[in-house]
């Protein structure tokens, strides 16, 4: 008698894949172990769902598989000349989801209903996480505002990874905006209220990458309205609102105002090339300068990803020996990381991969390229591919939004 358990059954395959995605989202907020386990199970399901030959064939034709696998393989190859094998293994392990997630997504078929459930689950978790982060501000507003004047911020979910959490809120706002286009009148009210809370929190948290991506995407949508005859009448009010929001937030949100004042103070030192103890931007600029020196010393293939810290430490010791080890950044953006780890080979390969992202064919090129640009911007200002939450969120959101764009476009056409 044949077993009824067959991973190639569409209903079972869809249920297991959706369950793995739900586990990954839950693990993102509650447990790194669950997140890692969910990624690994999600990856293992793909060849059983499709069959090994069919899975490999589809994987070889997916540009996201090639791009993210390259971002993982470059550090792997650098192991041949990395002296610190332990540090190199840590880098390879942390970056492994860059390859596993796209390979697990190959041939994935999740219904529109399940995709909506996953999207709203992510919205719900982020909303609860926002409340968890925001409530202490209402209880200790004065003390927290003073902390912002010293460069500190609110505690956030994702183990206080405020950069990734801020950027995740922008992703959720992006998804909600796409839902707005096909939502009922009642659901639009809900989307509008949730979005207002998220926008207020982004300014209260005042993490730059989240705010930069938010305003960039908002400006893109306004420009798209201007190009659409049916929506052009709303373009000027939207543009005025776009210009007014940051001023309103500066006048009414104390932490946002304190953050702006701190950045201005910090940059007054940065422009003078001086070091501000406990500062942020001057150290970031100096880390890029140190990374540039390491790349000039090892231009062909870098020092290896296992030796990035030790190579930069030796330069730090020469250019700024008073900077403590805890204040050193290794380094401040992803291009510098790949340049130090793999030299010009890494810099060129990483840049080409990101450029190719813009030309991947999707159902809605404008929306896709808007989010790709937000992703690239996050890598300019931070090292999102060197931390566990970043190596999950960056490929996951690109994969999820790429597939969802087909459904959104079809629904808009029917509407």
Q: What are the sequence ranges of the domains in the chain?
A: 1-61, 114-272
Residues whose CB falls within 8 Å of the CB of residue 342, separated by 6 or more in sequence, listed in order: 74, 75, 77, 78, 301, 302, 305, 349
- For the segment 98-123, the average pLDDT, to the nearest whole number, is 90
Overall pTM > 0.85: yes
pLDDT at 411: 53
Give percent of the chain with pLDDT exceeding 70: 90
**Quick one: average pLDDT of 19-24?**
92
SS (H, E, C) 307-326: HHHHHHHHHHHHHCCCCCHH
Do residues 126 and 168 touch, judged by C-beta distance below 8 A?
Answer: yes
**Residue 170 in contact with residue 202, Cβ under 8 Å?**
yes
> Which residues make Cβ contacts (< 8 Å) with residue 380, sequence separation at least 6?
333, 334, 335
In this structure, what is the dihedral angle of CA atoms 346, 352, 358, 361, given to the nearest 10 degrees?
Answer: -110
- CB count within 10 Å of CB 268 equals 12
Joined tokens for residue 65: 């598989």
Burial class (CB in 10 A: 0-12, 13-18, 19+), 209: buried
What tokens were used for 314?
Answer: 């030796």
Q: Is the pLDDT of residue 3 over 50?
A: no
Look at residue 413 and tell me whether its pLDDT is greater than 60: no
Residue 229 token pair: 């005859």
The stretch 181-202 carries a mean pLDDT of 90
**Stretch (H or E) spanning 393:** helix 388-414
Between CA 313 and CA 86 the distance in angstroms is: 17
Task: Give the separation between CA 347 and CA 351, rounded to whole angstroms.
Answer: 6
Q: Return the exposure string of 98-109: e unless at least 16 CB atoms fall within 10 Å of the residue's CB, then b.
A: bbbbbbbbbbbe
Query: What pLDDT is recorded for position 239?
Result: 82
Q: For 61-75, 190-204, 307-321, which range has the lowest pLDDT when averaged over its residues?
A: 307-321
> Greater confidence, 197 or 262?
197
Coil, helix or strand at residue 108: coil
- Percentages helix, strand, coil for the chain (3-state, rounded to 5) are 80, 0, 20
Residue 189 has pLDDT above 50, yes or no: yes
pLDDT category at 16 given cuts 50, 70, 90 is confident
> Is the model more confident about 362 or about 203?
203
Q: Chain-wide mean pLDDT for the chain?
A: 86
| CB distance 297 to 341 below 8 Å | no
Residue 110's contacts (CB-CB under 8 Å, 6 or more residues apart) are 14, 17, 18, 21, 118, 403
Give the tens place of pLDDT for each residue, 306-360.
999 999 989 988 877 777 777 777 888 999 999 999 999 999 999 999 999 999 9
CA dihedral 63, 64, 69, 72 (to 10 degrees): 140
pLDDT attached to residue 342: 95
């Amino acid at each position: 008698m044949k077993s009824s358990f067959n991973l190639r059954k569409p209903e079972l395959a869809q249920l297991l894949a959706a369950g793995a995605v739900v586990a990954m989202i839950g693990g993102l907020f509650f447990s790194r172990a669950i997140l890692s386990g969910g990624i690994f199970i999600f990856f293992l399901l793909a060849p059983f769902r499709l069959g090994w030959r069919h899975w490999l064939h589809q994987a070889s034709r997916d540009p996201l598989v090639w791009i993210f696998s390259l971002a993982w393989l470059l550090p792997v190859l650098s192991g041949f000349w990395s002296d610190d094998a332990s540090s190199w293994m840590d880098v390879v392990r942390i970056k492994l989801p860059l390859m596993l997630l796209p390979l697990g997504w190959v041939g994935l078929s999740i219904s529109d209903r399940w995709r909506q459930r996953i999207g709203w689950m992510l919205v719900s978790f982020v909303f609860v996480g926002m409340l968890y982060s925001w409530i202490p501000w209402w209880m200790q507003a004065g003390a927290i505002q003073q902390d912002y004047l010293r460069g500190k911020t609110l505690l956030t979910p994702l183990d206080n990874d405020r950069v990734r959490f801020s950027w995740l809120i922008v992703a959720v706002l992006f998804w909600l905006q796409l839902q707005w286009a096909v939502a009922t009148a009642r659901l639009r009210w809900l989307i509008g209220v949730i979005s207002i809370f998220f926008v207020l929190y982004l300014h209260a948290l005042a993490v730059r990458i989240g705010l930069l991506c938010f305003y960039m995407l908002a400006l893109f949508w306004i420009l798209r309205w201007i190009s659409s005859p049916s929506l052009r009448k709303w373009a000027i009010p939207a543009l005025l609102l776009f210009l007014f929001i940051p001023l309103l937030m500066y006048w009414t949100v104390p932490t946002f105002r304190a953050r702006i004042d701190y950045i201005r103070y910090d940059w007054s030192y940065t422009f003078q090339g001086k070091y501000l103890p406990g500062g942020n931007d001057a150290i970031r600029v100096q880390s890029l300068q140190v990374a540039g020196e390491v790349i000039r010393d090892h231009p062909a293939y870098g020092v290896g990803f296992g030796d990035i810290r030790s190579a930069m430490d030796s330069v730090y010791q020469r250019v700024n020996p008073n900077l403590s080890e805890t204040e050193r950044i290794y380094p401040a953006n992803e291009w510098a990381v790949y340049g130090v780890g793999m030299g010009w080979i890494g810099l060129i390969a990483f840049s080409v991969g990101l450029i190719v992202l813009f030309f991947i064919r999707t159902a809605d090129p404008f929306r896709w390229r808007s989010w790709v640009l937000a992703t690239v911007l996050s890598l300019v200002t931070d090292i999102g591919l060197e931390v566990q939450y970043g190596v999950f969120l960056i490929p996951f959101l690109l994969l999820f939004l790429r597939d969802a764009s087909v459904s959104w476009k079809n629904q808009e056409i029917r509407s």
